[in-house]
Structure 1
Amino acid sequence: MKTQSILSNFVLYGRSIWQIVRSRLSPKKGLEDILNYRYISDKLATSGQPTAAELELISQAGYKTILNLAPPTASNALPEEQAIATSLGMNYINIPVVWDNPTMADFNQFCEVMDNHKDQLIFVHCAMNMRVSAFMYLYRHLKMGFPASEAYSAMKTIWEPNATWQNFIETAIASSSNDFRSNELQENF
């Protein structure tokens, strides 16, 4: 079991490094060129860590809030991201989700931010769009009422969760209650 987990992490991190290198070497023309960019709706998009130039593209596209789920110590973190985002007229929020220890407190804070910004354009990112895609899966399924298969298929375009994240996802779903579900499908995102 340990060997399989080590091999799985090795493959995941190797793939991640390749995606970062490929993204940074490619010329940037638009949002779709940002590392692991995903359009969710007219009000919401997600990605891996944007560069300073990409933050400018995000601002030019009309996004008002940047939500970063990566800790400032992430390997590809942009050290001055908050200053850059605010200088471009965007709000900046950081929920530093520890890669090896995502918590329900992190997810609940994420849901609160999403709910509080549902009437404006919000751009959500982390280092590789893995944390974000898992949180978006849970948010869309548990909070917005999307079918699990539909919400999960969007996450799978980024990655297949490792054991830590699969366990977190299963725990979040098992512990969800009626308080966490909306009564009807929300059209906000």
Structure 2
Amino acid sequence: MVAADPEDIRNWRRRPDGTTTSGRLQAGDPARLAAIGVRHVVNLALADHPEALADEAALLAAEGIGYTHIPVPFDAPTAGHVDALREALAGTVGPVHVHCIMNWRVTAFFYLIDRRGGVPEEGARARMLDVWDPFASDDPRLLPWQALLQSPV
């Protein structure tokens, strides 16, 4: 029997294709991900973030879960990072879980992946807005995200 989704993980979401996403993981979460069948984790957060899970790769490996780290500086996301996520997803055996610290990087990247994959704007944007709205503020820290998200699909 597969366990229920650990919805108490920060900003936990399950995408229509079954991929799960979230914000930061904590020490007990690798076992919880294994219990729901996750076979690979992609981490978009920086390893030196104060909320990053120390030894994440080793903790996941102990649960039989593969790991890919694509460090994305919050102040400098690029289309290359999005492409790296797309490649990681294509090259792994699922189910896959993708996370960062708040699930902001993840949902923004999936917005772009969805749009490039033919998901209508309204649907792709709704999934992102369910977690955060990078356009809701004129905070200058969001300018790189706004520019990336407005790039041609």
State the TM bucket, normalised to the shorter chain.
0.7 to 0.9
CA distance in structure 2 between the aligned counterparts of 1:81 and 1:109, rounded to whole angstroms: 19
Aligned residues: 143
**Counterpart for residue 60 of structure 1:** 35
Deviation track 1:53-97 (CA, whole Å, cap 9, x = no partner) reads 122111110000000001101221011111000110000100000
Deviations 1:127-172 (A, max 9, x none): 1000000001111111x2110110111100111113221111112x
What is the match of residue 147 of structure 2? 167
**SS of 2:150's equivalent?**
helix
**Corresponding residue of 1:17:** none
Please, which of 114, 117, 138 is the counterpart of residue 89 of structure 2?
Answer: 114
Distance 2:132 2:54 in 1: 26
Structure 1 residues 1-189: aligned runs within 5 Å: 30-41=5-16, 43-117=18-92, 120-142=94-116, 144-161=117-134, 162-171=142-151, 174=152, 176=153
Cα deviation, 1:90-121, whole Å, max 9, x if unaligned, reads 0010000010000111111111111223x520
User: 2:110 is matched by which residue type in structure 1?
Assistant: M
**Contact 1:65–1:123 at 8 Å: present in 2 too?**
yes
Identity of aligned residues (%): 32
* Structure with max Cα Rg: 1
Query: Partner letter of residue 157 of structure 1?
Result: D
The 1:88/1:104 distance shift into structure 2, 3 A limit, reads same
Q: CA distance change for structure 1 residues 105 and 121 in 2, over 3 Å: closer, same or farther?
A: same
Residue 42 of structure 1 and its aligned partner are, at CA, apart by 5.4
Question: How many Å separate the matches in 1 of 2:107 and 2:100?
Answer: 9
Partner AA of 1:101 in structure 2: A
Structure 2 unaligned blocks of 5 or more = 135-141
Structure with bigger RCO (C-alpha 8 Å, 6+ apart): 2
Gaps of 5+ in 1: 1-28, 177-189
Confirm or deny: 8 A CA contact 2:5 2:36 kept in the other structure: no
CA distance in 1, matches of 2:121, 2:22: 21
Q: Distance in 1 between matches of 2:133 and 2:18?
A: 25
